[in-house]
Each structure stands twice: as C-alpha cells, then as structure tokens.
Chain A
Amino acid sequence: NAGVTQTPKFRVLKTGQSMTLLCAQDMNHEYMYWYRQDPGMGLRLIHYSVGEGTTAKGEVPDGYNVSRLKKQNFLLGLESAAPSQTSVYFCASSFKGWTYNSPLHFGNGTRLTVT
C-alpha cells in the first residue's frame, strides 16, 4: 500500500516549456487535489476532483490544467511554465471531501524550478 505517489520528485524547466505531474493513489479515494506550497503562504489549492472524470478550480488555477481519466490518477499540467510557478507541488487524496474523518493524504511533493 504505497498511499499517494507523485512523480517526478524534482524538475527544472525553462520559461515557456510544458510538463505534466503525475499523482497516483491506491486507497480507492474519491477526492484528489493539487496544492502548491510557497514560503509564508501555506498550502494553496490549484485544482481538485471529486471523482473520476471530474475536475474543478481551486484558489489559484491560472496557468494549470488537470485531468482525472482514471479514479486512481490525477494529472497536473503546465502548458507554458513561468517563473511564478516555481514552487513545491503536493498531490493529496481523501475518502470524502474536506470533512471530519476524511483526512487528506499527501504525496511526497514535487519541487519545480522555472528559470
């Protein structure tokens, strides 16, 4: 039982390049999320999904796209990377939504640097 697995762990991009971050969970969770973590700003929600085939915008969705074609996978895409997207990205999943007895299970994070 691996929990939530993110790939890659590190990535360096040049401005304008594109990339996809992959998140996989093996807990049969319905909900999946992408957060970014920046110093002094906590965890900010980028996009989330409440089930296979669904996606929704979070607090900071601009410049990102997501897809959830399979229940266990949630992909985060950057079409044209910008230096402002330099951050640590965390994927998370939960059994239900943001509620009691449904804690978020986070992956180990991806450190992305855009030069």
Chain B
Amino acid sequence: GENVEQHPSTLSVQEGDSAVIKCTYSDSASNYFPWYKQELGKRPQLIIDIRSNVGEKKDQRIAVTLNKTAKHFSLHITETQPEDSAVYFCAASKGEYGNKLVFGAGTILRVKS
C-alpha cells in the first residue's frame, strides 16, 4: 500500500521567511496530493491540493510543487506570519473509490516574531 514520509518533523522560521515541507510517496499510481493545516486544538482543514497532471499550484502565499518522477511533493509558504504556526499534514491517494488517502506524520511549523 501507499506510504507517505514527511520532513522535517519540526520547523522553526523567522516571521517573513519562507518555509518548505517535503513529502515522498511510494505508490507511483497516486494522483491526488492534498495538504491539511491543523492549528493547536483545532480540526485539520484543507489548505491546498494538487492533481498529478499539474506540476505546481499556487494560492496567495502558499504553493505546492509535484515531481512525479521522483515521487515527491512539497509545500512552500512565503512571507510567513505568526498565524501560519500549526501542524501541516501532506497526504496522497489514487483519487478513486477504495483507494484511501494516506497521511504523512505531520510537520510542526513555528513562526517566530
């Protein structure tokens, strides 16, 4: 089955700097890659997702890149702000019925002001 590895487990950046979180997946048939953000004590929420037929997607300060050949995808946050502090989870699936979404272990992002 699918296996998703996420790095780093914790990341501290200065406010205004960029943050990058990387994930690798094992199943080359996976074609859907969402990212969820979970603030302390709250529920996870989708912040961005990408399909395998797209190499990059951007939404304001966040972007996701996908390298299908290397089977890895990354979350990029620019101009970080204190409210970006949270746990971020990547995930992968084949995007079809019965092909479950597998999550990475999560990255704790701390933005220092």
Residue positions of A touching B, CB distance < 8 A: 40-45, 48, 50, 58-59, 90, 97-100, 103-104, 106-109
Known: A100-B49, A103-B46, A106-B44. A59 touches B105 (CB 8 A): no
Chain A interface main SS type: loop
How many A-B pairs have beta carbons closer than 8 Å: the answer is: 56
Q: Which of A41, A50, A58, A90 contacts B44 (CB 8 A)?
A: A90
Residues of chain B at interface, number, CB under 8 A: 26
* B96 interfacial contact with A, CB 8 Å: yes
Contact at A106–B105, with CB atoms within 8 Å? no
A90 to chain B: which residues have CB within 8 Å? 43-44
Q: Which of A50, A59, A100 contacts B97 (CB 8 A)?
A: A50
Selected A-B contacts with CB under 8 Å, 26 pairs: A40-B9, A40-B106, A42-B6, A42-B103, A43-B89, A43-B103, A45-B100, A45-B101, A59-B102, A90-B43, A97-B97, A97-B99, A98-B32, A98-B99, A99-B96, A100-B32, A100-B95, A103-B34, A103-B49, A104-B36, A104-B44, A104-B101, A106-B43, A106-B45, A108-B42, A108-B43
